Structure 1
């Protein structure tokens, strides 16, 4: 390949002026990165300069080839020790460029089909020897990776309209031989994504902390697979959701280090942290003038006991991670087991109906019929819409109409089941048939923020002799049943009580009265007994918000005197496990075994 010179363009040997150099070593060059990255490192006193492998520029979209213009700037490249490069960072100029070289002379020509010419792949190949020399001498490359592009480039001359020459096999990763195949073969694949994860095998250190900090600001355009000769020297750092490698460190046998990172919106911060905190520890030989002695704790210098302690830490971390994974598996099992319960406060249509049926089975109903499923299996296409569920466990038959609604329920939503009751009475020749509207309304917001049935809706339900069941109330009841191992009968009973809104208190709860005072410092509540005697050893309970709480009476007093029994009309103090001020005026119940 011929050497490239641009008459009248930037002198490739000139450097950016830097009067604030604190560390003469290492010499750092930033290629096609934002100027801010250079300025930040200069303020820290680094010997840093910026450069470019040439600007992209716009041309008219045609199927023809045009002469390629070069404006590269690689100041003092051969003496650099750290090279930072953004593969796709070279800017695009709006104006087209003219080349002075006569077309009859051999030169580079680029295809104009996409309207942009990028000279960088040519310059990369041109200076490959210099880049390789830097690396083999113990240098470091930091690469912000971009997708691999193979532009159509010909090296040749033009006579009239005829272009005579050879097509060059170049791409935008041509600056080092490891990306060309051969012994060191990085197998790459253009891809794109924003979900980036830290390699779980990576040890806890400053580099891992940096990756954790910036992973959410990264996106990948290319993935890497280990080819021939790469396995031993390759350490994966970052993975995508499919466990493809999107970032890593490569240490070739010939010397040097190559750090490959995805694209990032915070390259300047990453470069700054790498240069000031991380690379001086990883490659202290490149930073002989920096007062950074953290390398003293690298494994090759560490004391044997310290190595053992570090190994023990890794073992504990591994065991802890396994315990966390086991607990997460148990959490998933619980979520899967009780999915039907969550569904009754989130779902609609068939999924809601099926989950309500699961709830009915859980509380002990036996003879449950899915009417929609029965109609679906029937060959009789003339059957009209009926209730969703039938419960025929005893002489009182229950018809359940189930609805999931985004907003508040209408009268039609609440009273529709009323239409089905007389039909079933005639069909079954049985008058003891009750209708229930099971409604999951305002299902898209948190149940704690939802409305209740209005007084008018409850009154209308009573007048039409149907029961309104809020799935949120059913959810709370079943959670209480799970928590305190109630018999399912205490919830089943509620389906057969008077019309209107179904009670949200289980049938084994007998009201005693309201909590009148709370002494939270002593965990004591005071109640005036309105019904049901209380004795030492009785269990009491209450519903606070969306959760039931139950306590055994171990101490009971009247006027600071211990008593064994409290009668109706007595005002007694009861010591419980946890008494909070917000319990005042809460209804208290005696829990019947």
Structure 2
């Protein structure tokens, strides 16, 4: 740097310019700028901090851990001259702002990382500040760490804003330069972030630093409009370098777990975020009522957003879903009507984002929260509790009581759901799992079906310390005869070797137990990555495999059929003796209990009359109870009427085509559905 340029960086530094910005102006590095300033006796500031905020920001607090960053140990006290320069600088900035006084001083609107929205709101006369939580940069992917510079572009009065608009996707990624990171001195704590993803993003840590202020805005009625982005956790931690230039372990186990680009507010950090993407967005009826559904026609979503089931202080209304019904946008509002907290809109990425925000600010929000819009409130203030009509307040109180009772009832039902999942969650393992998890699920199913002596062979061998060749997975010792069960979970359909593998375990057990009364069974969770109804069911086992199983007295059962059998056993309260014979059946085992007698099939449906036509292979009478075999469940119902040739009859014979009343819906009825008479 030529000598004649030394005065300029000194002046710019006093005005609050960062070293990187000064270096860019003079086309030199930040380190060169620092050296020249030190040579002139000027104490250099850390990057990203204005002169007037050195003292206020020199102590950084994260999750209750306060430490002195590297520059605090070197920084000189701010002099009165520095203070006067700072005040002068701010005054000049304020004067410029006064020249462009907004048409609407309230609400104060802070727009973060969405400059297109900020410019439109300013043009329409709103008191709008545009800012950023920081610039993400790209770096080479590696296993190393870099110090994270904590700087943002928030205005000094950001704590006084009334509406905050944030885009969680953040600014477009920029390539890091050699001046992007400054290594802290030895022994000085700093925040470090891994480079394994190739992205250094300061936004989560800056959100954490400002979250107290943002929470205060929200708790006092502030409105947040959040455009959702894929969740990103930087994996930061607090540490310092040792004398060898190596990072120590995180200080006091200070890994900043949970920090993400959703750390804006306590309530947003509680939301359940699952990264997913797509463009098919379906507005809900609530979205239509608010009046913003048309804006969702052209947009995309980057994540699925669901409320925490344990958050009783706020209610969630879904505003938009993806094509599968998962929530991609919603509204959080206080559960108690008298609550002072504001609203939080969670919205997907909208192409017409600026137009959507204008619609919210000019049409929707003035009606929902008129106190924030003095210029638009007009006569809405009469609806405040202090002025509302007494009879209307009485009705509103009744609505609140009903909502509270419903909330408690819903919580009780959700607890029932959770308890049922704990008790019968093994049913889903039956049709998804493999290995030990599948074995455990099969054992639970067999126990549910009433078998009392079901043994996990591998677990017993491990407990006893026995060694030797591996044999069957499970034994059913209290079936009609002992049954050896081989269990497999596979991606495709079973081959002969795996289907009949259990046969080779029977002879050794016969010699060991000195009995010939032993059966074998193969339970196969086939095509386990597919939904159950999308799998092959008719020809799961090859024809010659079924023939061999029948000749060798082996049983072949799919995990899907065991799932159906157990599910209907629970649903219809079947008895153990109704299903026990199935486990000593030769060949393919179908999940039809012993007390079901096949009598025909459905042939025709008249939905308006709630009547189905039955082709009978066995007699049927009024008063009998029948079961219809649907793809998953059996539907049981009483025969209340029969018609033969349009005439009511009491009984029908084999070969007759009769009509009977039914509760089946048109979605359930299919020609060919098997019908059974229930024998009791």
- When normalised by structure 2's length, the TM-score is 0.54
CA distance in 2, matches of 1:386, 1:81: 70
CA distance in 2, matches of 1:421, 1:81: 77
Question: Residue 641 of structure 2 corresponds to which residue in structure 1?
Answer: 555
Question: Residue 13 of structure 1 corresponds to which residue in structure 2?
Answer: 95
CA contact (8 A) 1:558 1:571 kept: yes
Q: Offset of 1:260 from its aligned partner?
A: 12
CA contact (8 A) 1:371 1:388 kept: yes
CA distance in 1, matches of 2:163, 2:426: 58
Q: How many residues align?
A: 449
Q: Offset of 1:394 from its aligned partner?
A: 5.6
Aligned with 1:402: secondary structure?
strand
CA contact (8 A) 2:262 2:268 kept: no
Aligned equivalent of 1:534, options 611, 620, 623: 620
Deviates more, 1:262-271 or 1:501-510: 262-271
Question: Residue 253 of structure 1 corresponds to which residue in structure 2?
Answer: none
When residues 141 and 402 of structure 1 are mapped into structure 2, their CA distance, relative to the original with a 3 A threshold, is closer
Residues 102-150 of structure 1: per-residue CA shift (max 9 Å, x gap): xxxxxxxxx9658xxxxxxxxxxxxxxxxxxxx9xxxx99999xx9xxx
CA contact (8 A) 1:515 1:583 kept: yes
Question: Residue 479 of structure 1 corresponds to which residue in structure 2?
Answer: 567
Aligned equivalent of 1:304, options 362, 366, 390: 390
CA distance in 2, matches of 1:542, 1:468: 24
Question: Residue 670 of structure 2 corresponds to which residue in structure 1?
Answer: 583
Counting only pairs closer than 5 Å after superposition, residues 348-359 of structure 1 correspond to structure 2 as 348-359=434-445
CA contact (8 A) 1:395 1:432 kept: no
Aligned equivalent of 2:416, options 330, 335, 339: 330
Aligned with 1:13: secondary structure?
helix
When residues 417 and 299 of structure 1 are mapped into structure 2, their CA distance, relative to the original with a 3 A threshold, is same
- 1:294 maps to 2:380: yes
CA distance in 1, matches of 2:333, 2:650: 73
Aligned equivalent of 1:36, options 107, 116, 137: 116
Q: Offset of 1:551 from its aligned partner?
A: 2.0
Q: Offset of 1:369 from its aligned partner?
A: 2.5
Aligned with 1:425: secondary structure?
helix
Question: Residue 447 of structure 2 corresponds to which residue in structure 1?
Answer: 361
Q: Offset of 1:387 from its aligned partner?
A: 0.7
Who wins on radius of gyration, i.e. which is larger? 1
Question: Residue 125 of structure 1 corresponds to which residue in structure 2?
Answer: none
CA contact (8 A) 2:500 2:522 kept: yes
Larger RCO (CA within 8 A; separation ≥ 6):
1
Residues 7-27 of structure 1: per-residue CA shift (max 9 Å, x gap): 9xx9763359979x8x46559
- 1:503 maps to 2:602: no
Structure with more of its chain in strand, by fraction: 1
CA distance in 1, matches of 2:443, 2:392: 61
CA contact (8 A) 1:525 1:579 kept: no
CA contact (8 A) 1:198 1:237 kept: no
CA distance in 1, matches of 2:653, 2:262: 68
- 1:387 maps to 2:467: no
When residues 91 and 18 of structure 1 are mapped into structure 2, their CA distance, relative to the original with a 3 A threshold, is farther
Aligned with 2:500: secondary structure?
helix
Question: Residue 658 of structure 2 corresponds to which residue in structure 1?
Answer: 572
- 1:462 maps to 2:550: yes
CA distance in 2, matches of 1:258, 1:361: 51
Question: Residue 451 of structure 1 corresponds to which residue in structure 2?
Answer: 536
Counting only pairs closer than 5 Å after superposition, residues 178-577 of structure 1 correspond to structure 2 as 191-192=259-260, 194=262, 197=267, 273-274=360-361, 278=365, 284=371, 289-290=375-376, 292-381=378-467, 383-393=468-478, 396-452=481-537, 453-456=540-543, 457-497=545-585, 499-531=586-618, 533-577=619-663
CA contact (8 A) 1:542 1:589 kept: yes
Question: Residue 25 of structure 2 corresponds to which residue in structure 1?
Answer: none
When residues 47 and 194 of structure 1 are mapped into structure 2, their CA distance, relative to the original with a 3 A threshold, is closer
CA distance in 2, matches of 1:428, 1:462: 24
Q: Offset of 1:365 from its aligned partner?
A: 2.1
CA distance in 2, matches of 1:345, 1:2: 73
Question: Residue 84 of structure 2 corresponds to which residue in structure 1?
Answer: 2
CA contact (8 A) 1:282 1:295 kept: no
CA distance in 1, matches of 2:426, 2:536: 22
When residues 193 and 392 of structure 1 are mapped into structure 2, their CA distance, relative to the original with a 3 A threshold, is same
Aligned with 1:307: secondary structure?
helix
CA distance in 1, matches of 2:344, 2:664: 54
CA contact (8 A) 2:110 2:129 kept: yes
Aligned with 1:3: secondary structure?
helix
When residues 43 and 484 of structure 1 are mapped into structure 2, their CA distance, relative to the original with a 3 A threshold, is same
Aligned with 1:436: secondary structure?
strand
When residues 289 and 578 of structure 1 are mapped into structure 2, their CA distance, relative to the original with a 3 A threshold, is closer
* Structure 2 residue ranges without an equivalent (≥5): 1-82, 138-152, 185-216, 227-233, 235-255, 271-285, 304-312, 317-331, 335-339
CA contact (8 A) 1:388 1:402 kept: yes
* Structure 1 residue ranges without an equivalent (≥5): 59-70, 97-110, 115-134, 148-187, 219-235, 240-246, 250-256
CA distance in 2, matches of 1:72, 1:373: 61
- When normalised by structure 1's length, the TM-score is 0.61
